[in-house]
């Protein structure tokens, strides 16, 4: 599987080709006139072959960091580059395009359209790219085959197991050829056996060149990554390269 690279990169911190670079980013929310710091100066680089696990207790800032890394939010201060582009300089339309071209999202709750087939769920991101219907269906079918669901193309989510639904969600995240896959508790709603099969799939995708960044409360899941980031109170308190 070949994944496209972003062009039009700007001169910026980080090594050439880094998928995501965050330099001293903060995120402060204003709630009822009170400033609440969710991130208090975080620096992190995700290279194209990374497999990173972000762990921490609820309120540690890991979900906020995930939203920033995925371009769903912008930092209050600091520098954030996605695909070599400074998100502070992008219009909302440019930001949406960058997300569509660079980032794939996998969520704990799958977020599949309930009355839509697996194939059409996977094809949805291609609609926003203006890809024609025939090509969308062909690419979605090929991606479902890649994740072992060629026999489920025309099944709706309620006709599939939790593990199958998560594989559909992974196929949807990958159909645009992203360079980074962000997974928020991807095994959280799965039994241990099914969760292991999903992690094996993520590992195989990483071996093919997709950077994987996952948020998890499960230290066993985090232990399978190549790098583990521990967060507390809006800060990275440790970053460990794990022996493979």
Q: With contact defined as beta carbons under 8 Å apart, do 15 and 84 qualify?
A: no
Q: Over the chain, what is the mean pLDDT?
A: 90
Which of 1, 13, 62, 104 shows the shortest CA–CA distance to 218?
A: 62
* Sequence spans of domains, the chain: 48-67+91-241
Q: What is the pLDDT of residues 223-235, one digit of tens each?
A: 999 999 999 999 9
3-state secondary structure of 181: strand
More confident residue, 184 or 8: 184
Full 3-state SS string of 47-75: CCCCEEEEECCCCCCHHHHHHHHCCCCCC
Domain at 48-67+91-241, CATH from 3.20.20.70, 3.40.50.300, 3.90.550.10, 3.40.50.1000:
3.40.50.300
Question: pLDDT, tens digit, for every residue of 104-126?
Answer: 999 888 999 999 999 999 999 99
What is the average pLDDT across 165-188? 94
Instruction: Please name the residue that has the structure tokens 């099969």.
Output: 197
Residue 38's pLDDT band (boundaries 50, 70, 90)? very high
Mean pLDDT for 43-67 is 94
Q: Check pLDDT > 90 for residue 10.
A: no
List, edge to edge, every strand of the sheet that includes 235-241: 103-107, 180-184, 211-215, 51-55, 227-232, 235-241
Q: Is the pLDDT of residue 8 over 50?
A: no
**pTM of the entire structure?**
0.87
């Amino acid at each position: 599987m070949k994944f496209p690279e972003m062009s039009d990169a700007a001169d910026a911190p980080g090594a050439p080709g880094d998928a995501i670079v965050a330099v001293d980013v903060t995120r402060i929310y204003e709630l009822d006139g009170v400033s609440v710091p969710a991130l208090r100066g975080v620096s992190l680089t995700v290279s194209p072959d990374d497999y990173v696990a972000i762990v921490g207790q609820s309120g540690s800032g890991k979900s906020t960091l995930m939203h920033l890394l995925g371009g769903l939010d912008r930092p209050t201060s600091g520098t954030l580059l996605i695909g070599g582009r400074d998100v502070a300089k992008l219009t909302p339309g440019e930001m949406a395009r960058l997300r569509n071209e660079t980032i794939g999202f996998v969520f704990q709750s799958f977020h599949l359209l309930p009355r839509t087939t697996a194939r059409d769920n996977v094809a949805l991101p291609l609609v926003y790219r203006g890809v024609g219907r025939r090509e969308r269906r062909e690419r979605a079918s090929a991606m479902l085959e890649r994740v072992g669901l060629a026999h489920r193309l025309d099944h709706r989510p309620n006709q599939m197991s939790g593990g199958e639904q998560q594989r559909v969600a992974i196929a949807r995240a990958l159909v645009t050829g992203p360079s980074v896959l962000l997974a928020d508790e991807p095994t959280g709603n799965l039994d241990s056996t099914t969760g292991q099969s999903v992690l094996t799939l993520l590992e195989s995708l990483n071996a093919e060149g997709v950077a994987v960044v996952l948020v998890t409360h499960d230290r066993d899941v985090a232990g399978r990554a190549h790098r583990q980031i521990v967060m507390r109170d809006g800060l990275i308190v440790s970053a460990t390269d794990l022996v493979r």
